[in-house]
Amino acid sequence: MAGTKNFRINRRKFLQGGMASLVISQFGAYGFDLIYPIKPWKVGVIGTGWYGKSDLFRLMQVTQVEVVAICDVDIHLLNEAADLISQRQKTIHRPKLYENYQKMIDENELDIVIIGTPDHWHALQTIHSLQAGAHVYVQKPISVDVLEGHAMIRAAHQYNRVVQVGTQRKSTPHLIHAKEHIVDKGLLGTIGHVEMCCYYHMRAKGNPQVKPIPDFLNYDLWTGPAPWRPYDNLPHRGWWRAFMEYSNGITGDMCVHMYDTVRWLLDLQWPKKISASGGIFIEKKSKANIADTQTAIFQHDGFNCVWNHRTWGNPVDFDYPWGFFIYGEYGTLKGSPHMYEFIPRNNQPPIKKDVIYQREQFPEDLTEKDIELHAAPATRLHMIDFLEAIQTGKKPVSNLLDGHISTASCILANIAMKTNRTLVYDPQKMIVQNDSQATKLLKRPYRTGWKHPWHLS
């Protein structure tokens, strides 16, 4: 890729690693190469909370990294992250600390920027990082509105940089096995229906009063382009996800993962039509304004992909509270971040694979606060794929266009629920066909002083 420094791919070193040997022994070689640069990657992180640090630490486990600078509007999170990074870096140097991400990008020549901020920041921070010449690893969903996603794709093409989206189910070993050994071999037969779900009780239930903004948090900068809400709680982790001002609810958070996985497994592109219904039916006492119940239907040729979430009650299948179910003429494939199971219609025994854990290969995982041990191996492989894409110019497995389709489809489901209409989206013209009201909702208004990256002519 143009502008990339001189790197070499060393398969021998990768194959000697504990992660690779474990993956290969259980599932066979998937062609991932660990990239060893001549000089360490110069990395910056925007958003040093839970997943910003988690993604960074997985990158540090698979290649040489120099964390040059980190950014957060919460000085407590920033200093905590700097301490942890200095303990892991071979140089033992603390990274430079920034409150303003644009200043961090401008003052440092970065190879990679990891973005772990709330959804309403993903588009601007990705685009500004690309403009500065960095490759980007951005958490899902890629954007908070549809036209932000188009602007991100335009920027990636313009600046010729790689963007990997944090939909790491595509790098989850047992799901790779399901694709190669169940789906691609035709064991399902003709697909007739797909269901996806999330029944986690993850919607915030609090109702705190407005309070003074703490002096360690730049709440104005945290809000950024989003609408202003009076401060009533520390926003990080679960609280900000309770509000449509910053997110697209459970569908925009959890459905993105499952729909993206199903599209990858079945080689699906944009849905033909999208409809949705739902609302706040049970949990009415909380300040949260996201739906506690929603059904969305993504129509594809020959079958529908149906999403259901409830943040109350019991799951339909207790083994798969967050997962997908692909129904074919010859059997059913169930999948989740923890396992998959293929149940044939004939009397053949089911095929089942569980998640890989790598506690022995990466013992530092065991002492990392809040780590998702089941997701760590997938994120490591996701980072390796990201690095290989930078080196070779190939598309990363979670490339920006795929992330955009999955994100935008979930946003369109929310628009369909809001308008109570079935939507047909034209991604070339960037309009909802025959629906000017829904088309206007493709772009959210930014707060005064902030400029949306996509400008309608």
Q: What angle do CA 39, 44, 50 make, to 5 degrees?
A: 125
User: Which among 348, 260, 351, 335 is positioned nearest to 305, based on CA atoms?
Assistant: 260
Report whether 333 contacts 196 (CB < 8 A).
no
Q: What is the pLDDT of residue 8?
A: 37
Q: Alpha-carbon distance 199 to 35, whole Å?
A: 38
Strand order in the sheet with 293-300: 273-279, 293-300, 303-310, 191-198, 322-328, 331-335, 339-344, 351-354
- Residue that the structure tokens 């998937």 belong to: 30
User: CB burial class (10 A; 0-12, 13-18, 19+) of residue 186?
Assistant: exposed
With a cut of 70, say whether residue 140 has pLDDT above it. yes
Q: Alpha-carbon distance 407 to 248, whole Å?
A: 10
pLDDT band at 37 (very low <50, low <70, confident <90, very high): low
Q: What is the pLDDT of residue 19?
A: 39
H or E element at residue 71: strand 65-71
The token duo for 45 is 């992180």
Of the listed ranges 160-169, 337-346, 360-369, the least confidently predicted one is 360-369
With a cut of 80, say whether residue 414 has pLDDT above it. yes
Q: Alpha-carbon distance 1 to 108, whole Å?
A: 21
The token duo for 232 is 């009533």
Q: Alpha-carbon distance 190 to 456, whole Å?
A: 42
The mean of the pLDDT values for the chain is 92
Looking at residues 193-211, what average pLDDT do you find? Answer: 97
β partners of residue 191: 328
Looking at residues 443-447, what average pLDDT do you find? Answer: 97
Looking at residues 425-450, what average pLDDT do you find? Answer: 97
Looking at residues 404-408, what average pLDDT do you find? Answer: 98
Q: Alpha-carbon distance 294 to 115, whole Å?
A: 28
Looking at residues 6-35, what average pLDDT do you find? Answer: 41
Task: Spell out a b/e string for 419-444, using b for 16 or more CB atoms within 10 Å of the CB, else e.
Answer: eebebbbeeeebbbeebeebbebbbb
Quick one: what percent of the chain has pLDDT higher than 70?
A: 91
With a cut of 90, say whether residue 249 has pLDDT above it. yes
pLDDT band at 237 (very low <50, low <70, confident <90, very high): confident
**pLDDT, tens digit, for every residue of 75-126?**
999 999 999 999 998 777 899 999 999 999 999 999 999 999 999 999 999 9
H or E element at residue 96: strand 96-98
H or E element at residue 256: helix 256-266
Q: What is the pLDDT of residue 278?
A: 98
Q: What is the pLDDT of residue 231?
A: 98
Report whether 238 contacts 254 (CB < 8 A).
no
**pLDDT, tens digit, for every residue of 311-349?**
999 999 999 999 999 999 999 999 999 999 999 998 899
Number of H helices, E strands in the chain: 14, 18
Looking at residues 403-411, what average pLDDT do you find? Answer: 98
Q: Alpha-carbon distance 44 to 230, whole Å?
A: 30
Looking at residues 356-365, what average pLDDT do you find? Answer: 91
With a cut of 60, say whether residue 378 has pLDDT above it. yes
Pairing status of strand 41-46 against strand 65-71: parallel
Query: Which residue type does 18 have?
Result: G
Q: What is the pLDDT of residue 91?
A: 76
Q: What is the pLDDT of residue 36?
A: 56
Say which residue, 11 or 219, is predicted with more confidence. 219
Q: What is the pLDDT of residue 38?
A: 65
pLDDT band at 29 (very low <50, low <70, confident <90, very high): very low
Q: What is the maximum alpha-carbon separation in the chain?
A: 65
With a cut of 70, say whether residue 457 has pLDDT above it. no
pLDDT band at 13 (very low <50, low <70, confident <90, very high): very low
- Within a 10 A sphere around the Cβ of 255, how many other Cβ atoms? 30
**pLDDT, tens digit, for every residue of 272-313?**
999 999 999 999 999 999 999 999 999 999 999 999 999 999
